Structure 1
């Protein structure tokens, strides 16, 4: 009976060790869980950036206002018969 108790106790200790510290144990599970949460936040940021890019692409394909805005800001273009005023600050 004493041998059975020692054997059962040793099996219990081994199972607890495997559960907490062994391969695919609780510690590894918690690390993976944290990594998944970090990746989920990164994916949400990328999804938001992609959505903004899709809206901008749609606007460039469908609307002329975005094309005009880019031409004015990046290339300095103006329409015919249009007067361009540049306001310069104190610096």
Structure 2
């Protein structure tokens, strides 16, 4: 009887090994789920960035207001007759 119990226990342990420690085990699944969640968050962030860039490109193509705004902000350009005042903190 002891031999039968020991054999059944050994078979159970052999069958459980792949479930817990081999490739495709629970640990691997949990790790992959965490990686998937992180990648989905990164993809969402990049999609938002792409939407903002697309909107900016469309504004630049549509008219001169966006181009003028960029020239004023990034290059410090002013129109003829305007006075440029800059406050330094």
Query: Please, what TM-score do these two structures have when normalized by structure 1?
Result: 0.80
Q: Distance in 1 between matches of 2:87 and 2:13?
A: 77
| Conservation of the 8 A alpha-carbon contact between 2:19 and 2:25 | yes
- Counterpart in the other structure of 2:21: 21
- Counterpart in the other structure of 2:42: 42
- Counterpart in the other structure of 1:53: 53
Unaligned runs of 5+ residues in structure 1 are none
Q: Distance in 2 between matches of 1:11 and 1:63?
A: 75
Q: Distance in 1 between matches of 2:72 and 2:2?
A: 90
Q: Distance in 2 between matches of 1:75 and 1:38?
A: 38
| Conservation of the 8 A alpha-carbon contact between 2:78 and 2:84 | no
Q: Distance in 2 between matches of 1:23 and 1:71?
A: 57
CA RMSD in angstroms comes to 2.0
